Amino acid sequence: MSSTRQKLIAILGPTASGKTSLAVRLARHFRGEIISADSRQVFRGLDIGTGKDLKEYSGSDGSGRLWRVPYHLLDVIDPSEEYSLAQYQKAVLLAMAGIHQRGRIPFLAGGSGLYAQAVIDNYQLDDRGPDRELRAALNGLSTEEIFRRLSEADPEQTYGLSASEKANRHRLIRRLEKIKQGNNICRTGQPLFDSLVLALSRPRSELDERIQARLRARLESEDLIKEVENLLASGLSAQRLISFGLEYKYIVLYLQKKLSYEQLFEQLFIAIRQFSRRQLTWLRRWEKQGRAIHWLKDTQEALALTADFLRAEKNAP
């Protein structure tokens, strides 16, 4: 029996594993469009630090013909504004509808496991305001316990937080509230899409080398520090930038002369490396929950799996 659900291919994995380049290759091969699954790439101006890599979405082939892969959910909101998981989910549904109407294939690519899972498992979310019942329950917990629960719910929300931020009960509760809203009613609904989940993974030593090389390139030749300076000059507060974690947090501290350049590089490298471990942990946990995840050996396997997945519907009786 042929599935009536729209096909969706997800390309996930830790930072610096090569998700964007693989997604672009698959999208070009299968006439697709890419939807970003990254919690920070939705913000305008956060380009180098979030790895938007916009240049990878277009180019020319060997004969000089130009090509471009359409993309979605990049640069959708100012960094001074909040953007919830529910807003992201709704925006993806709109993007998926347009891609379907154009007769193209959607590829969901990124490193934010929560965002990908919210789309694929159809989290039941909404944009409600403060949940007083949830807040009352959380207020009965210690700040350490609230932080632990937030870290379990979405590791990306807790990376790069300073000691003072970890102790900010109001902010921690609000972050956890945004994630949990709707989950007490029904965590997941009937999946809206027929999804193939592909995941990239590399040997730990190789991934660490890629993280280090990419960080050095961004700091030394891609003007990442200048990007942060420009964001501050535009009126974005240092505290807001710090809340984005990782690159933005550490570079702000460097510009505030709280870190030397050597400390910036070393501490940021360690933080990104730890973050990549958490990204893999999220995927492994999702897999244990029953999600079929295909861990790729190479690009040819990705091409073959995608072709078989798309062919299955066409050949179904």
- 160 is an annotated ligand-binding site residue: no
Question: Do the beta carbons of residue 28 and residue 69 sit within 8 Å?
Answer: yes
- 15 is an annotated ligand-binding site residue: yes
What does R_g of the chain's alpha carbons equal in angstroms?
Answer: 20
- 20 is an annotated ligand-binding site residue: yes
- 16 is an annotated ligand-binding site residue: yes
- 19 is an annotated ligand-binding site residue: yes
Residue numbers in the known binding site for substrate are: 15-20
Residue numbers in the known binding site are: 13-20
Residue numbers in the known binding site for ATP are: 13-20
